[in-house]
Amino acid sequence: MNNYPAVSVIVPCRNEKKHIEKGIRSILTQHSPPDGFEVVVVDGMSDDGTRKILDQLVSEDSRIRLVDNPARTTPFAMNAGIRAAHGRFIAIMGAH
């Protein structure tokens, strides 16, 4: 076993206040591979309260990391998430 997760789940989002908590918590309940997984949420500078929810989730679970997406575009978010990922395998999921 190493210090890196087997899987990195990338979640691009922007202004997902209504859906983000349920979506992230759903990912966290999934069966974990032997080396575990991480969730890399890439936020497109949300201004609807999404960021506050994400900050709370990050403080509750060390498997969640938050990356900024100043470009506010999905392709940029996916690439930023992949660059930040530590997992051997990458999965990209929608925020809801």
Residue 9 domain-assigned? no
pLDDT in tens, the chain (96 residues): 467 899 999 999 999 999 999 999 999 999 999 999 999 999 999 999 999 999 999 999 999 999 999 999 999 999 999 999 999 999 999 997
> H/E/C letters for each residue in the chain?
CCCCCCEEEEEEECCCCCCHHHHHHHHHCCCCCCCCEEEEEEECCCCCCHHHHHHHHHHHCCCEEEEECCCCCHHHHHHHHHHHCCCCEEEECCCC
Whole-model pTM: value is 0.94
Q: Count structural domains, the chain.
A: 1
Residue 45 domain-assigned? yes
Residue 73 domain-assigned? yes
Residue 17 domain-assigned? no
Residue 4 domain-assigned? no
Residue 13 domain-assigned? no
Residue 84 domain-assigned? yes
